[in-house]
Amino acid sequence: MLNEVIWSPSAEKDFESILEYLKLNWNDRIILRFVNRVDDNIRLILEDHKIFPVINEELQIRKSVISKQNTLYYREKAGKLEIVRLFDSRQDPKKLRF
């Protein structure tokens, strides 16, 4: 079981960007629902970090779908959960870099 969460600078930027979009286009209820989904997924991953599939064997990155628009990419690193990206899947997939 992992006990610490580390957000990469890219993941932090992704999260802030998604929140900004939600603030401009949706209401507080939708924002809260999104934040809760992210928190719930992180809790699941902390309990069992192998719960979601590996999508990059070399970097050991796993993929967790938050919603049809957002996907969380993460890996276990030195006993910690590293959130690598929180990607808005409406973007060009070529922008997804780890």
High-pLDDT (> 90) share of the chain, %: 86
Distance of alpha carbon 37 from alpha carbon 5, whole angstroms: 16
Task: Report yes or no: 86 and 15 within 8 Å, Cβ to Cβ.
Answer: yes
pLDDT tens-digit series, residues 30-40 = 999 999 999 99
CATH at residue 78: 3.30.2310.20
The total domain count for the chain is 1
Structural domain contains residue 42: yes
Structural domain contains residue 32: yes
Q: Which domain holds residue 39?
A: 5-91
- pTM equals 0.92
Distance of alpha carbon 96 from alpha carbon 52, whole angstroms: 18
pLDDT tens-digit series, residues 45-97 = 999 999 999 999 999 999 999 999 999 999 999 999 999 999 988 887 788 88
